Amino acid sequence: MSSSDLPLRHQSPLIFSGNNYLGLANHPEIVEKVASELHLYGNSFSASRKTTGTHEIHLQLEHLLSTFKQSEQSIVFATGYLGNSLLVRALRKGNTIVLADAQSHPSIVDSIPKDEVEVELYAHRDPGHLEELLKKHPSKDLLIMTDGVFALTGEIASLDELYELAMKYEAALIVDDAHATGILGENGRGTPEHFNLPGSKHIYQSETMSKALGSYGGFIASEVKLIEKIQAESNFYIASTALPPAIVLASLFSLQYLMQHPELRVQLLGNARKIREGVSSLGFETTPDLTPIIPLFFKEVKQAEQLSQYLKEAGFVVPAIKYPIQMEKSIVRITTNALHTSDEIEQLLFTLKKWTNEHPAH
Ligand SMILES: Cc1ncc(COP(=O)(O)O)c(C=O)c1O
């Protein structure tokens, strides 16, 4: 049967959105384990990590994150959004300039204390332009910042080239790997592993437990020296309530599951490949990298909104994204996960094909 003959069989809306990439956010086994242990801890530790909020399960989670990331130590905190800020504050010196990708996620932009450090943007994914800026500031302490996988476009930053530049100009490199943790690299350790970067010295990843890990909160896995500095100096660690038990347990059990089930990553990236190839062959403009974020680009916001609405009426949730990132094009952002079946993906592609037939000039 050719795809043009496919009937639309699903009943409830099919969600090709969000970041529950491995399906762990509602995995029955993980949910059950969390529920069965939660009564031991209650709802909140109601204290900061620095005072009495650090519990054995925080330490277990941080220890497992270090095992997963092969790092000396780890620290967890509320929201991945905060990670870039913790890193910039821990790594900046008196004379620091931040050089950030022009399409950085808002959590990078917001993390830079602009009254204390200078900042310049390099053209999106353009190591050549970054090098020009690095050369311009020989007497500065250099800090490069980029997304590992860009949240809107699914592009992978050329971290190999950025790393080479970081080594050449003695810069530190912060990578927001929110969309790469648990997904890219042989063991899901993110973009440094994807590019086989040796020991990842000078690379500092800001990571989240809210996407592939299907939980909530951020983490940094790095050298003891850096983690201890954050613990000692970050007001957030000192004066904000520790991650609550349900979140810590969910993160812990999800991470255990993720480490035991590499096939989920294979399934996810297989789905991503099918959709990417499918939309490309239908003539949509998209990006080439193998990640679960598959954007469809449009010149006009109206076109993006019209397609998103068309998909909604056909039973698919695929939002037209409005995001505070400088970008000329409008995007309908498809995200896939390890749970999407081949049949569901074919149904989505079938509906997109119907739309292109009705809108030949897209
Ligand atoms: C690139 C990037 N960094 C950071 C974050 C924030 O992570 P969290 O949702 O865990 O706060 C997001 C979330 O959407 C993101 O896309």
Name 331's bridge partners: 297, 321
Asked if 307 and 209 sit in the same domain, the reply is: no
Structure tokens that stand for 43 in this block: 């709802």
> Which residue among 214, 238, 260 closes a domain?
260
CB atoms within 10 A of CB 325: 19
- Tell me, yes or no, whether 85 and 229 share the same domain: yes
> What phi and psi values does residue 97 have, to the nearest 5 degrees?
-120, 135
Per-residue confidence (pLDDT) for residue 165, from 0 to 100:
97
Least trusted range by pLDDT, from 1-15, 42-56, 163-177, 343-357 = 1-15
Q: What is the pTM assigned to this prediction?
A: 0.94
Residue 6 has pLDDT above 80, yes or no: no
195 and 77 in a common domain: yes
Instruction: List pLDDT tens digits, range 120-168.
Output: 999 999 999 999 999 999 999 999 999 999 999 999 999 999 999 999 9
Cα(359) to centroid of ligand 1, in Å?
Answer: 34
195-240 pLDDT, tens digit each? 999 666 789 999 999 999 999 999 999 999 999 999 999 999 999 9
Per the structure, the complete domain to which residue 151 belongs is given by 28-260
| Phi and psi based region of residue 134 (left: phi greater than 0; alpha: psi -120 to 50; beta: remaining) | alpha
Q: How far is the CA of 295 from the centre of ligand 1 (A)?
A: 17
156 plus 34 within the same structural domain? yes
* Ligand 1 neighbourhood includes 200 CB (under 6 angstroms): no
Return d(Cα 221, Cα 214) in angstroms, integer.
18
5 has pLDDT over 70: no
The protein residue whose alpha carbon is closest to atom 15 in ligand 1 is: 178
Give the tens place of pLDDT for each residue, 37-90. 999 999 999 999 999 999 999 999 999 999 999 999 999 999 999 999 999 999
Element (H, E) at 353: helix 342-358
Q: What is the DSSP string of 22-35?
A: TS-TT-HHHHHHHH
Q: How far apart are CA 337 and CA 315, in angstroms?
A: 17
Count up the domains in the chain and report the number. Answer: 2
Give me ligand 1 centre to Cα 217, in Å.
9
281-334 pLDDT, tens digit per residue, is: 999 999 999 999 999 999 999 999 999 999 999 999 999 987 767 778 899 999
DSSP state of 291: S
Give yes or no: residues 185 and 281 share one domain.
no
